[in-house]
Chains A and B, each alone.
Chain A
């Protein structure tokens, strides 16, 4: 909340600064008026008044210069609202003090300068909080009452504008309450008018801020859409390349044979034909992978969501199924299950795909006679599956990219040339569809740990229509 308050203050500070500058300019007119009165006074038959007005005028001129210095010609940021407000209070108090002195020398409660008190009350209420102006009005009334009493008791000399006339007597008894009423009245009236403007100003500022916020949100959304579009386009092109490359190889191989560069019956010819077949198989695997990925991305909401999916059972089945592959490479599969993990809901084929892919990768990139551990752990409602191998590892710069489609680390390609680079992307999609995360930690030549983290309170994705299991 604090920064917002400071923004509001900043908004008013800007306005207050403008008004104070205007106030300083007006004060020069007051100085000119006082000096003019002091010069014209003697010609109008007011002999005693002019030196006092000249002194007051000079005093006002001096403090106006001090105020200009105080306001400072600094940037807006260096003019906090609090500083400007104290400047305004000091200016008004100094003005009113000068007015009290002027009023004393120009007839006390009969002085024409009394009008300027009301003028100051109005301006003060516009630029300052109303409660401050009520205090100022009370103090001013007190000061004028003191002057009035001192003049009445003869402590201070009475300076009537017209020396031929004395104090106004009983009629003037009403001037004091009228004066106090006028000051308080002007403050109240001005406040009722300006408070509405201040509220509207604040509302306008808030609306502007909300608008700016909405524009920023819209801009961000647009950027996100653009990023998604770029990724989509990138994915399409990479996919196209992955499909076109094996096709191009098949075509070139066949053309080399048909155009007679190599005889089909020779060893080289056979090698080319076998190679072409191999590439067609690769192509089939890639197409199947792309279909799996598309199914996972677009069709997962329609997948058959099953209630109560036992992860222990699921992992045990996968390990059984992969045992022959591991045995062929003399790799030991070690299950390390701690607790029983049963997900509220799940899509078993997708989960099998994900875990099978991770364990298969671990076997594939392990060295012969290695060990692959599948660790299952339940902590509260959070289940973690870790697949740990001590194989060739993934270079750090490929650790994020290998989760994307068609990206394979060079050492992985060299170690196991066969592979589409789609498995991890599909596995990640499957885990994320269950609200989980898939992370990889790896050190080249030391091994990789793939960690799947899931809440057991999985809910079917929004829009799922096919639900299987006991209600």
Chain B
């Protein structure tokens, strides 16, 4: 079976490095530093899971990327995990016009490496 691909979209390069080290034990990891770059990489090669930060170049960039993926027939079923330092209540309130947060899982930083691997396995239906 081909190796599963995880796309990690986060503007914090140290965090990306740390999480990559964990994920690389089981998956192939690709990295993007912002939403635009992330969308380009998804178009190039569809990953099995996208892990998205929320606040990157601007406050709600992660949400926007998630919505774009959900609105695109090619990526409508692409599993998305939001992994962010912002708590969920706040995100919903920040998006007054559109509180829709289209993701499979919403995780708050920091996440223990073991927990992150377990969550990804769940989303991928491996457990």
Contacts and interface: CB of A to CB of B under 8 A. Distances in A.
A413 B11 CA distance: 10
A173 B34 CA distance: 109
B113 A261 contact: yes
A248 B111 CA distance: 8
Contacts of A259: 113-114
A443 B13 CA distance: 29
B87 to A, nearest CB: 8
Of A252, A255, A268, A272, the most chain B CB neighbours within 10 A belong to A252
A287 to B, nearest CB: 16
Given A245-B85, A249-B15, A275-B14, A261 B25 contact: yes
Interface residues of A, number: 25
Contact of A237 (B14, B58, B86, B111): B86
Interface in B90-127: 90, 109-114
Given A241-B55, A244-B85, A252-B113, A278 B14 contact: yes
Interface in A342-389: none
B85 to A, nearest CB: 4
B21 A262 contact: yes
B12 interface: yes
Interface string B54-89: 010110000000000000000000000000011100
A259 to B, nearest CB: 6
B18 A272 contact: yes
Given A245-B85, A248-B110, A237 B17 contact: no
Interface residues of B, number: 25
B109 A252 contact: yes
A456 interface: no
A259 B57 CA distance: 31
Contacts of A237: 86-87, 90
A253 B109 contact: no
A410 B57 contact: yes
Given A244-B85, A261-B113, A252 B15 contact: yes
A252 B110 contact: yes
Interface string A240-283: 01001111110111011001011000001001100110110000
B39 interface: no
B41 interface: no
Given A252-B109, A256-B113, A271 B17 contact: yes
Contacts of A241: 55, 85-86
Contacts of B5: none
B113 A272 contact: no
A249 B86 contact: no
Contacts of B85: 241, 244-245, 248
B21 A256 contact: yes
A241 B12 CA distance: 13
A300 B34 CA distance: 38
A248 B109 contact: yes
A246 B21 CA distance: 18
Given A252-B110, A259-B114, A410 B58 contact: yes
B19 interface: yes
Interface string A102-125: 000000000000000000000000
B22 interface: yes
Of A248, A251, A255, A268, the most chain B CB neighbours within 10 A belong to A248
Contacts of B90: 237
Interface string A380-409: 000000000000000000000000000000
Given A271-B17, A272-B17, A413-B57, A244 B25 contact: no
Contacts of A276: 14
Interface of B: 11-15, 17-19, 21-22, 25, 34, 55, 57-58, 85-87, 90, 109-114
Which 8 pairs between the two chains have the least Cβ-Cβ distance?
A275-B14, A248-B109, A410-B57, A248-B110, A245-B85, A249-B15, A253-B18, A251-B110
14 contacts: A245-B85, A246-B12, A247-B110, A248-B15, A248-B109, A251-B110, A252-B18, A253-B14, A255-B112, A256-B22, A271-B17, A272-B14, A275-B13, A276-B14
Given A259-B113, A275-B18, 4 more contacts: A248-B85, A261-B113, A271-B17, A410-B34
